[in-house]
């Protein structure tokens, strides 16, 4: 079954394909499906924004659509950047590196023991016949004082994942797919969507 990902982010699509392909789902990007909508993410939670994106794409193409809304939540910053992770720092921060610099600047006086954080991912799938599945995954960690590793994307170089014992940027993609917030959300999603069964649950 074809499922349209409400994104053109190659990293997200690769992670979803790697896991969902085992369940008979062919995940394609908006661009591959000929969908060009860019819904405004007006929600204040990951759940709200994930649903906004999935519904917009499903309505535009008439196919099942899946959306991920994810971000970093830092305890010392009262949960920032949260749902604004991709836009953190405003228009002056145009790259992942800019946003990391902005984050580290805000945390420069925060000691190591107070730099706890978590990555959060919420995955929502909606179908034209009204089915809706929502799953959330979280990965605990803390923010380092400097970058480590050359892989990953976003805040990966400064996020030290407790379960992995290193930053996300130091993990190979297949390793990250075992421990990341998105991997955890996907496992929860698969359990809700399929249980011990396969694709027919969504058809």
| Binding-site residue positions for Mg(2+) | 40, 69
| Binding-site residue positions for substrate | 7-12, 70, 153-156, 176, 181-182
Q: Of these residues, 69, 92, 96, 129, which one is catalytic? A: 69
| Binding-site residue positions | 7-12, 40, 69-70, 153-156, 176, 181-182
Catalytic residue check, 69: yes
User: Cα torsion for 27, 128, 67, 10, to the nearest 10°?
Assistant: 30
Residues forming the active site: 69
């Amino acid at each position: 079954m074809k499922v349209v990902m409400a994104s053109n982010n190659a990293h997200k699509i690769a992670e979803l394909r790697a896991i969902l392909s085992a369940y008979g789902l062919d995940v394609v990007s908006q661009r591959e499906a000929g969908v060009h909508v860019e819904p405004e993410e007006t929600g204040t939670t990951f759940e709200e924004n994930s649903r906004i994106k999935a519904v917009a794409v499903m309505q535009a193409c008439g196919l099942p659509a899946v959306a991920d809304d994810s971000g970093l939540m830092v305890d010392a910053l009262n949960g920032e950047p949260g749902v604004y992770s991709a836009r953190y720092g405003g228009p002056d921060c145009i790259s992942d590196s800019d946003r990391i610099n902005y984050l580290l600047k805000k945390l420069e006086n925060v000691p190591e023991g107070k730099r706890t954080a978590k990555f959060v991912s919420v995955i929502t799938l909606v179908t034209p016949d009204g089915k809706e599945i929502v799953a959330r995954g979280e990965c605990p960690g803390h923010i380092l004082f400097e970058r480590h590793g050359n892989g990953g994307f976003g805040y990966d170089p400064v996020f030290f994942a407790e379960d992995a014992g290193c930053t996300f940027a130091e993990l190979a993609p297949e390793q990250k797919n075992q421990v990341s917030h998105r991997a955890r959300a996907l496992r929860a999603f698969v359990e809700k969507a399929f249980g011990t069964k396969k694709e027919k649950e969504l058809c």
